[in-house]
Structures are given as structure tokens and as C-alpha cells.
Structure 1
Amino acid sequence: MKKFLLILCLLCALQQLAAQNLNLYEKKWFIRGNDTLRYRVMFPEKFKPNRVYPLLVFLHGSGERGNDNNAQLAHGGEIFTREAIRHYFPAIVVFPQCPAGSTWSHYKRDHHPKSGNFNIITEAEPPLTQRLLKQLLDSLSESGVVDTRKIYIGGLSMGGFGTYDMITRYPDYFAAAFSICGVADIPQMMQKARNLPLWIFHGAQDNVVPPIADRELYKALMTSGDQHVMYTEYPNLNHNSWDAAFAEPKLLPWLFSNKKKHKKQ
């Protein structure tokens, strides 16, 4: 009984510590006219406004949508608060929150095996939430504290869809990207985002977003001669492959090692 209580107390302490760490992310609201994008942002330790830093934005999945400005930190938020990560990879980290009923990109279910059960709709204009996000990133980039050669994007599930969509719409904006259990418009990726450093993650047993679409994307990019794409598939994992992806020791060193040759105009 004493051992059980000790373990329970330890778990509670760890949960409290994790919650305290997430408080390192400041609550912010990006407002344009009648539209609002909620987001959390964490600045580097010993932040200096006369320096420039990498900018990383992470897009959550459909389960973290809402307006509490908290849920989007559920997956991945804690990683970037770790002391070693903040020391070796000082960066401005942004976690925006997609409102309920909205998405980062246009798509619909089609139950077609080769598309991973999703049909990506490449509209002329992205959803409002993505447009607000791009304006937020532009605002941060123009603030003078962002190294515009080092802007990165990643996302999981619905956020993986959004990651693919944004790097095809703005291929010269990002230095590198990573997607976890997402689906891409392969022709658009081939045309616009080929050779952008990209790491794809997926669970082989994923029955929510089957891995076939990411396999086909990787195959197409490799066949085209793209030397900047990597693919990691976890044989025994279902949809929650993000835990394994975040645990990859080479993910952040790889991500932050990428830099564009020229600053964003």
C-alpha cells in the first residue's frame, strides 16, 4: 500500500511539473478584423530582442481543436520545454489552436485505399485558420527576432495534412518540415515541394489515417531523385505514432540543422 501511494505521489508530482513546464508557453491571440487565432508561444531562455532565432510552428490534430488555448499542447508541447532541448536548440516555438469545426487544410474522407481514405482538396485559397496562421508567422518573421532562413513546420494527423499543404503553398518559406501520420497531395508535393528537407513518420497499423498515402508520397519523391526526404514507419504502432516520432533522438538535430541559403523576402 505504501509503495502504491509513493508511486501515485510521484506520478502526481510529474504531472504537476509537466503542467508547470507548459506554462512556459505564453497565451496569445492573433486578431485580424473579426477573426482570431489562439496560440501559445515559448521564447528561448535568456531571450535577447537584438538577436534572431529559429522559428518552429507545430500543428495539432483534430482532437485538440477548440478555444481553450491549452489543448494544442497535449502532444509535443512538453518536448520543447525540456532543459536540454532549450539549451541546445534555442528557438521560438509556436503552437496555434484550430477552432472546433475548422481544419488546417481542405480535405474530405473518400475511403479510397490508395489515398489513405482521404481526398486532399487543393483549393485556390486555404482555410481561414491557415490564412491567419500564415499572417501570424509573417508578423513574427517581420518582428526582427526570427532568423528567416530557419523557419520550420511540423504536425500530426490533421496537422500533418496542414503541414503538407503549407509547404506546397509556401515552399520557399520553410527550411524543413516533418509530418506525422498525414496525407499529402502528391502531385502538388512533386511540383512545388520536392527537395524541401522532409521527414515523414507513420504507424504501419494506423487505421485512422492508413500509411499507404505516405508510402506513396515517399516512393514518388525518391523516384524523382529527391535526396532530402526521409521516411520512418513503426511496424507495431497505430495512429499515435507521434510519441515514437517525438522520441527520435535525431529529429530535432536534423530539423534545426537545415537552413535556407537566402533569407525569406
Structure 2
Amino acid sequence: MNNLDFIENKKSSFGDGSTFRGCAGNERRRGGLFSSFSQTIPSALVCVSQIIKKTVLVIFLMAYALLSFSQTFTPKTFKGKEGNLPYQILLPENFSESENYPVVLFLHGAGERGSNNEKQLVHGSTLFLNEENRNNYPAIVIFPQCPKEDYWANVDIQYGPLGRQFEFLEEGEPTVAMSLVLQLMDSIASRKFVNNEQIYIGGLSMGGMGTFEFLARRPDLFAAAFPICGGGNPNSVKKYAGKVDLWIFHGAKDDVVFPHHSVDMALALQKTGATPRFTLYREANHNSWDRAFAEPELLSWLFSQTKRNQK
């Protein structure tokens, strides 16, 4: 198949004669009460000292992480028609409103849903925080967070003996979360420092499903997309085939979202004459995003796509 690659995995007591287990786990026998105390006090001091050292280290690491976090992604809240949407935004280093920047929208998976505006950064954020990537591809990166009770796509999910079965709806109103993200993106795209010829979307699992549906709903908004272990309704590809370049990823051993969902989308695109890139990792399960994020050509491919060079 043209442009489709299949990649193989490139206790303690203080009585007489009792045993005391110190912090390091070494046992000591005591001959009497005073002997017990004389041996226990130094051990206790050592234990306290170790606890203090570990506590200081943990506090230091937490403070360092928070400091690093504050210098990278910034938590925001978008106020939309249906409510509020938490999101994180990463601006290019030395950001200037007089410049034009690409925008990357990334949709997380179902496990990262919530309202703390942090969990969505678990997967994928380090790719864009990498210093070399930030230097080579200065861009505005947006990670919205879907509420726990919502979903990035219109899909019916059935649970049975064969696993999860997904039925992707072709029509219908967008979910509230989806609608809020589209409003957010319209707001972002209206800024003068945004290069509207280079707005991209990607996502994993539920976010991969959302990626396909966002393309169907707004094919003129995005220049390229990279859905990972997702799926969609093959009938919807006609709305964006030839307008948006895609690189689709999936794991052949995925037992959460079966790989045929991505295969079906790639084949449907090919039938329209489009030439999507498709990578099926022979040994990967659902976490094929690890392999996808490690693709050396992913970002160079992504940022080379513009609306102007679409067919």
C-alpha cells in the first residue's frame, strides 16, 4: 500500500532481650533495659536524620518540578458558551506578538480527563518541551482537558467479552468538550501572532478519535493531523481528504482500541485519492504513543505541512 509503513520493534519493641530493627533494617539484640536504651537512642537519631534528609530531598524535587513547570506550560481557563474549559498553553521561547507562530492542538486520552488542569500533560508534553524541539520548531502548543463525564468524540462504546466496541457517529451535535475546544481554537486563530496556514491537531486514544472528528467538523482549520491509536467513521473522511495531511499511528497488539479502526480510516482516505502516512507498530499495544512520539521525523513532517501546499 502506498505510503503505509509497517514497522517492527525497531517492627519494634524495647523490652529486655527484644529485637530492634533500625532504619537500615539491621537487627540488634539487647541484654537489658539500659543497654536497650543506649543502643536505641543512636539508632533513633540515625532514623530521624534519614527521614529529614529524604523529606528535604522530596521538597527540593517538588519545588524544582514546580519551578520548571511554571517556566513552560501555563494553566489557563477558556470561558465558552457552554461553560469553562481548562487548558495548558506553551509559548515559544522569546515569544513576540510581532511574530507569526504555528499552533499545535493536542487531545489527551480518556484516562487524563478531569478538572485539575494538569493531568492532560502526562503524555506528549515532553515532546514539545524538549529544548532542541523548541529551538527548531517554535510554536504555540495547547493541551485542553476534557471533563470526566465528557468525551472528545461522538462515539457509542459497548463493553463485551471481546473488549470495547466503538461505534463512531457520522452526524450529530458535537460534545460539549468538543464545542468548547473549537471555540478556543477560533479564539486562538484570530490572534495576529498565529500563522493560520500552520494549525495542527493530534491526539491519542480518545484524543485520536477526537482528532478525526475535529477534522471532519473543521477541515479548513487544520493543515495536518497525527491521530494515535484512535479511530473514526470512515464515511467522514471525504470532508477532509485532500485538504489535510495525516500521519496515522497504531499498535498492532492494541487490545483497547483495536488497530482496525485506524486501518479503516487510512484505507478510506486512500480510496479518495489521498495519501496518508500510516505506521503500524508490530509489537506495540495501546501505548503506541510512546513509539509515535519517538519518531525522528514526526515534528519535521508536521511543521513542514501548510494549507498552501495541500492538494
Q: Check the 8 A contact 1:200/1:231 in 2, yes or no.
A: yes
User: What amino acid sits opposite 1:250 in the alignment?
Assistant: E
Aligned to 1:86: 134
Question: Aligned-pair RMSD on alpha carbons?
Answer: 2.7
Give me the TM-score of the superposition, normalised by structure 2. Answer: 0.75
**Cα distance in 1 for residues equivalent to 2:187 and 2:277:** 31
Q: Does residue 268 of structure 2 align to residue 223 of structure 1?
A: no
Q: Which residue does 1:5 correspond to in 2?
A: none
Instruction: Write the deviation string for residues 66-125 of structure 1: whole angstroms up to 9, x where unpaired.
Output: 00000000000111111101100000000000011110111012469xxx8210123332
Letter of the 1:27 counterpart: P
Aligned CA distance change for structure 1 residues 33 and 261 (closer, same or farther; 3 Å): closer
C-alpha offsets along residues 162-217 of structure 1, whole Å, 9 cap, x if unaligned? 0000001111110000000001110111x212122001100111000010111122
Find the partner of 1:194 among 241, 250, 272: 241
Which secondary structure does the structure 2 equivalent of 1:117 belong to?
strand
* Residue of structure 2 in register with 1:48 after alignment: 96
CA contact (8 A) 2:170 2:235 kept: no
1:101 aligns with 2:149: yes
Gap regions ≥5 residues in structure 2: 1-23, 25-53
SS in 2 for 1:28: strand
What amino acid is aligned across from residue 248 of structure 1 in structure 2?
E
Separation in 2, partners of 1:129, 1:148: 23
The 8 Å contact of residues 82 and 176 in structure 2, kept in 1 or not, is answered as no
1:254 paired with 2:284, answer: no
**8 Å CA contact retained: 1:21, 1:78:** no
CA 1:34–1:223: 2 relative to 1, 3 Å: closer
- Between the aligned partners of 2:249 and 2:304, the Cα distance in structure 1 is 19
| Counterpart residue identity of residue 291, structure 2 | A
Name the aligned partner's letter for residue 98 of structure 2: N
The DSSP-based 3-state class of the residue aligned with 1:245 is helix
Counterpart for residue 72 of structure 1: 120
Residue in 1 that maps onto 2:230: 182
Q: Distance in 2 between matches of 1:18 and 1:102?
A: 30
1:243 aligns with 2:301: no
Query: What letter corresponds to residue 68 of structure 1 in structure 2?
Result: N
Larger Cα Rg: Structure 1 or Structure 2? 2
Letter of the 1:47 counterpart? F
Which whole-Å deviations, capped at 9, do the CAs of 1:10-39 have from their partners, x for residues lacking one? xx8999866654431111000125600000
Post-superposition Cα deviations, 1:195-240, rounded to whole Å, max 9, x if no partner, equal: 220011001110000101111221222233212x011011111101
Residue 180 (structure 2) aligns with: 132
Task: Quote the residue 2:254 is aligned against.
Answer: 206
Contiguous gaps of at least 5 residues in structure 1: 2-7
Q: Give me the whole-angstrom Cα distance separating, in 1, the residues matched to 2:198 and 2:97.
A: 17
Taking only the aligned residue pairs, the percentage that are identical comes to 42
- Structure-2 change in CA distance of 1:103 and 1:19 (3 Å): same
Residue aligning to 2:216: 168
Q: Tell whether the 8 Å contact from 2:235 to 2:268 is kept in structure 1 after alignment.
A: no
Structure 2 residue matching 1:79: 3-state secondary structure: helix
Preserved CA contact (<8 Å) 1:22 1:78 = no
User: How many residues align structurally?
Assistant: 253
* One of 19, 39, 44 as aligned partner of 2:87: 39
